[in-house]
Structure 1
Amino acid sequence: MKIKILALSILFLTTLSACQSEYESTGKHSETATFTEQVSKMEDAGELPRLDRTDTVAGIDADDNGIRDDIDVYIGRIYTSEEQQKAASQFAKILQASLLVNKEDKIAVKAASIANTKAITCIFDKFPNGEASNNESVVQYILGITTNTKIRLLEYVAFDKALDGTVISIPNGEVCDE
């Protein structure tokens, strides 16, 4: 039994040292550069959306419609149905507003949360499960691309924290803005 443990330990250490030598020879910097180059190539090819990475919460919204321009382009390219584009845009707009809301103003935070719940419910109405873009993946993806920088993610976490202790119910009636 002791021999088996000793043999396995030696095998593990040999494998670990081989991996370490390979990692040291490639260098961390070259791996990071390669990853960055891969992302850039995927963005150039249209496989990934080209996201705004400015160091601001708001990002660039040249047309002033409440949605970052990069997310507008993504929604227009990915969702072909007009009603699905409107639902995704409604969620992107309220999500962006949630990042910018004054987290100390409990009434404004609650209003943003209610609008957020309506927008998510609208997505669940317009994106049936079983399709390539099902409702949950749409919500998660738009959330992911909206909070694509550290400062934006921290603002989303602050918004979420400002909602601690609140109760939100599923809205009745019309949930889609358009």
Structure 2
Amino acid sequence: MDRSDDIKGVDADGNGVRDDIDRRIAAYPLTTEQKALLIKFAGAVEATHRTTQDDNSIAATVNELQKGIVCSAAAIPDYRSYVFELRAISLNTEARTKSYLQFQDKASGRRYSLVEESDC
């Protein structure tokens, strides 16, 4: 597991998800389509570290986080356990947790469109 000081960690394939998280998702007993949904969710969590103060950037990241949860819930029977584990792995250092909480602080108190299952 990547516990480096680098908030972004290693992403050799450039898919927006740290390699250790990619490996964890690959090990799940899920279909290729279900794993792809979790990769999108994990990418959205990782994007919180790169999101600027710009309202549009924050809204886009919040939308991707919501979509990751809604779409995973629609396709994976026990999605919560996967989503919670991936978020925990994504925020496995103090710097990553602080970065995520800073994003949450920037995103709170704003209005966002609700993601529907049909958006998946």
- TM-score w.r.t. the length of structure 2 is 0.92
Matched, 1:110 2:54: no
Letter in 2 for 1:107: N
Residue number in structure 2 paired with 1:124:
73
Structure whose CA Rg is larger: 1
SS in 1 for 2:62: helix
Residue number in structure 1 paired with 2:102:
158
For the 8 Å contact 1:99–1:155, the answer to whether it is kept is yes
Higher relative contact order (CA 8 A, sep 6+): 2
Identity of aligned residues (%): 30
- TM-score w.r.t. the length of structure 1 is 0.64
Equivalent residues, number: 119
Deviations 1:91-114 (A, max 9, x none): 011111122211x21220111101
Deviations 1:46-70 (A, max 9, x none): xxxxx10110110000111111000
Segments of 4+ in structure 1 off by > 3 A?
Answer: none
Matched, 1:148 2:109: no
SS in 1 for 2:49: helix
Please list every run of 5 or more consecutive structure 1 residues that lacks an aligned counterpart in the other structure.
1-50, 129-133
Q: In 1, distance between residues paired with 2:28 and 2:50?
A: 26
Q: Among residues 66, 69, 81, which one is paired with 1:137 in the alignment?
A: 81
Please list every run of 5 or more consecutive structure 2 residues that lacks an aligned counterpart in the other structure.
none
Residue number in structure 1 paired with 2:29:
79
C-alpha change, 1:138 and 1:169, in structure 2 (3 Å) is farther
